[in-house]
Amino acid sequence: MTKMCEGRVVIITGSGRGIGREYALMMAGEGAKVVVNDVGGSRDGAGHSEGPAHDVVAEIEGMGGQAVANGDDISTWEGAGNVVKQAIDHFGGLDVVVNNAGILRDRMLVNMAEEEWDAVIKVHLKGTFGVSRFAAAYWRERSKNGETNDARIINTTSPSGIYGNAGQTNYGAAKAGIASFSIIAAMELERYGVLVNAIAPTALTRMTEDLGLGGASEETKAMMDPRWIAPLCTWLASPQSAGVTGRVFEASGAYLAVAESWHRGPSAQPVDEPSEVDAVIRPLIAAARPNSDMFGNDKTA
């Protein structure tokens, strides 16, 4: 029986631990050749170690799979280009990019430092852009040369980005940007045979252990195992996901869902005097659905 990702070359950033590691192991088990990218830093991005990436490569090779480690910092232009080049040079091509690398520098807005903002935006948003950009250029060149692609970009957003969470203006802004990036990139790249989607995972990892999940019950912890996210990502990486593009999915051990993006709500004819706005806008606010809570559900009035 043919495996879902047989022969597909996959880059997975931030795959030395947590959700990314689960992606790497499952896709390798389904026949993918995996570039395991991880700088091996701490949760806030400090430090560097090639150990985690090499450990995952060893696990994959122990399963009989094919993988190579990469320690480039994908938040830099050079690092993003290097990981794409390594995939092409080592495995002879590239089919899938999974942008999963991330850090946390949580802080309430009034206390957030410029460096805490910049570091999070750089890893999440610029890192997603950089690797995607170099991969897209490769696929476009193939298309211009008459070759066909069945390629995928799978990005990582978050409930913090699509629904909001206090204390994470930097992280949430980056993740909201990634959701929009995915929708727009899907529009641009479909002509080249590239499908682009995003996953908003909820899982218990070192990134979330002190955000209320670390003290959860054993049953809840089992539901929050990062392995629950991997089947969706593996499916998106495979040819089975043909035709699915520009969507944001939510995944955990509790649910598998499609997130619905912004839609225009109640509306009225425009007014040209500021004194008239209050009488028009307040009924529209009252008729509109409230913003959702962190779990994607309507907040109670």
Residue 46 pLDDT: 64
Burial class (CB in 10 A: 0-12, 13-18, 19+), 64: exposed
Query: What pLDDT, in 10s, does the model give residues 176-213?
Result: 999 999 999 999 999 999 999 999 999 775 555 555 55
DSSP secondary structure letter of residue 298: B
Residue 301 pLDDT: 46
- Which domains are delineated in the chain? 9-259 (3.40.50.720), 268-301 (no CATH)
Per the prediction, the chain carries an average pLDDT of 92
> Which residues carry out catalysis?
171
Residue 40 pLDDT: 83
| Cross-strand partners of 13 | 37
DSSP secondary structure letter of residue 20: H
Residue 263: pLDDT over 70: yes
In one-letter notation, the amino acid at residue 232 is: L
**pTM score over 0.75:** yes
Tokens in use for 144?
A: 């211009």
What CA–CA distance (Å, rounded) separates 130 from 116? 20
Tell me the percentage of the chain whose pLDDT exceeds 70.
Answer: 91
Residue 139 pLDDT: 99
Residue 215: pLDDT over 60: yes
What CA–CA distance (Å, rounded) separates 244 from 254? 23
Is residue 230 within 8 Å of residue 95, measured between CB atoms?
no
Closest C-alpha among 52, 13, 51, 6 to residue 27: 6
Helices (H), 30-113: 51-62, 77-91
